[in-house]
């Protein structure tokens, strides 16, 4: 009955004592799972995405139960020991409230699939040494799961292994014994070894390996032609992206090693590519290669030596993120008008020009607008067309207008308008910005009283040097997260001792102001200029 409009209380099943399969996933059924105490012959139960509740312990009476799926049943609780018996082959507990220790699986010798993603499961993975039939194991997000991955040398049928965010350790050389592996996720774990071992995993399609102690040459990927997604961050890998020359199935690639080089032209034939992130300074080439990539969704090539005109993305209507800051990219903002779903735009320190209005009027979903040190112009008051804006960095641009527009952006967190003399307005308009964390308005014509920031309780950085602002510095006491305060050459006054309670403070500059007092009370402040 999956994906139907079936609804009602599962208690009615109590009269069907000989039921063997109950498939109710993605329906509107509800009720207490205690009813399964009256169904001793049930072999398969699928309650994914339903509103059932109760203790999983009821399944202890279902001695022939082989397959149980309570994915997203957040109101189902209890201990896994109730279902871990000889007959069990598949157990999906993802995002349920079930807990327990992995030792419960010591008798589940026929176990094929276990998914306990972000549950309260804990224990040592060594128990899976008895699960010779194990094919899929997902313990992502289970931070109290530990043990050495060498145990998987005994599970040669393994096709999916997801252990990111756990406390496991070991050498990835173990994967020389898992030739059928198609999905591997080992992020934020303490594993080590050379990725060359992955050449034994010819079926590998999805790889997530974000570990500091992993190394090797990415040339190994040239032999894995079925791979569709690669994420290798923090690892000490080397080599050239030329290894992807024959990959026609590649959809997503994220590699951030400074030792990786190559030309983005290699992706010309990857027509299915949707996500590309290469934080590698030796990456070069012309972004014109993306003209034939209509499926592209995210591009991050910041601090590489790529170049080209952003008008290439006129043919990328699905683009959501473009980050090419500190590169040789040029062009006019109008080249992005077809990217109406754009929510992140990073073009800092590039050869970009154009008028802000051209872009923001067609991209209402923008959350991050990073255009520092570009030739962009326009009235910042047009930003009210993007109500979800969180980060606006326009330092050193030719924009102008009144900062009152930010009072209409409830989600705004960072405003950087340093060195934009065309910007003016009163600080009072920022009192509505309750989520504000950073405000940089040096060398602008803003004015007003810093008491406007009393409601900005998340504020970490305040830079108003050289402006006409004033007020008593004690008005910043409520901003307990403040780390940096730059108020030199302003009309601010008061006693510096008023900031004694700001335990996070790292730097204060109040030169050429009316601020006085004994600064010795600010013992945690590493940089102090009075």
Tell me which fold the domain 1-85 belongs to. 3.80.10
CA distances from 399 to 326, 349, 360, 362, 417 (A): 20, 15, 14, 19, 9
Coil, helix or strand for 84? Answer: coil
d(CA 406, CA 444): 15
pLDDT of residue 16: 87
Coil, helix or strand for 332? Answer: strand
pLDDT of residue 170: 97
pLDDT of residue 5: 76
pLDDT of residue 3: 55
Global pTM?
Answer: 0.90
- 1-85 and 98-238 agree in CATH topology: yes
d(CA 94, CA 48): 9
Using 50 as the pLDDT threshold, list the residues of the chain that sit under it: none
pLDDT of residue 154: 87
Instruction: Judge: domain 98-238, CATH 3.90.660.10.
Output: no
Tokens found for residue 3: 């994906």
Residue 294's CB: how many other CB atoms inside 10 A? 13
Domain extents for the chain?
A: 1-85, 98-238
d(CA 193, CA 32): 48
pLDDT of residue 374: 98
């Amino acid at each position: 009955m999956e994906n139907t409009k079936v609804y009602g209380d599962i208690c009615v099943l109590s009269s069907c004592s000989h039921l063997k399969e109950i498939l109710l996933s993605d329906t509107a059924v509800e009720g207490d799972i205690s009813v399964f105490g009256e169904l001793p012959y049930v072999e398969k139960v699928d309650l994914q995405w339903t509103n059932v509740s109760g203790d999983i312990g009821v399944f202890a009476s279902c001695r022939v139960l082989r397959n149980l799926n309570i994915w997203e049943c957040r109101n189902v609780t209890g201990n896994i020991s109730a279902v871990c018996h000889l007959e069990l082959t598949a157990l999906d507990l993802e995002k349920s409230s079930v807990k327990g220790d992995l030792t419960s699986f010591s008798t589940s010798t026929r176990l094929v699939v276990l998914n306990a993603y972000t549950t309260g499961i804990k224990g040592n993975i060594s128990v899976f040494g008895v699960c010779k039939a194990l094919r899929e194991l997902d313990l992502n997000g289970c931070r109290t799961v530990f043990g050495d991955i060498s145990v998987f040398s005994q599970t040669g049928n393994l096709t999916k292994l997801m252990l990111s965010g756990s406390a496991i350790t070991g050498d990835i050389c173990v994967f020389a014994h898992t030739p059928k592996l198609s999905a591997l996720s080992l992020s934020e774990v303490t594993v080590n070894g050379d990725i060359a071992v992955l050449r034994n995993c010819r079926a590998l399609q999805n790889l997530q390996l974000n570990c500091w102690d992993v190394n090797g040459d990415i040339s190994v990927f040239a032999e894995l032609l079925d791979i569709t997604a690669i994420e290798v961050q923090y690892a000490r890998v080397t080599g050239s992206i030329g290894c992807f020359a024959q990959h026609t199935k590649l959809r997503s690639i994220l590699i951030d090693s400074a030792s990786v080089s190559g030309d983005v032209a290699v992706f010309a034939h990857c027509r299915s590519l949707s996500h590309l992130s290469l934080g590698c300074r030796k990456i070069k080439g012309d972004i014109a290669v993306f003209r034939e990539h209509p499926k592209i969704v995210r591009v991050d090539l910041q601090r590489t030596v790529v170049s080209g005109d952003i008008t290439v993305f006129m043919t990328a209507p699905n683009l959501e993120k473009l980050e090419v800051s500190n590169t040789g990219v040029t062009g006019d903002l109008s080249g992005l008008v077809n990217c109406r779903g754009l929510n992140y735009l990073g073009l800092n320190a590039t050869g970009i020009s154009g008028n802000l209005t051209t872009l923001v009027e067609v991209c209402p979903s923008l959350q991050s607008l990073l255009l520092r040190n570009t030739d962009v112009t326009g009235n910042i008051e047009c930003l009210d067309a993007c109500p979800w804006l969180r980060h606006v960095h326009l330092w050193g641009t030719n924009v102008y207008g009144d900062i009152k527009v930010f009072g209409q952006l409830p989600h705004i967190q960072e405003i950087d308008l340093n060195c934009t003399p065309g910007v003016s307005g009163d600080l009072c308009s920022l009192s509505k910005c309750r989520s504000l964390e950073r405000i940089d308005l040096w060398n602008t014509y803003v004015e007003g009283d810093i008491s406007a920031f009393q409601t900005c309780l998340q504020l970490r950085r305040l830079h108003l040097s050289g402006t006409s602002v004033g007020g008593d510095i004690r008005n910043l006491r409520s901003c307990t997260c403040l780390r940096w305060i730059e108020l030199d050459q302003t009309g601010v006054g008061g006693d510096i001792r008023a900031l004694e309670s700001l335990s996070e403070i790292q730097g204060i500059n109040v030169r050429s102001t009316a601020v006085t007092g004994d600064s010795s009370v600010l013992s945690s402040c590493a940089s102090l200029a009075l």
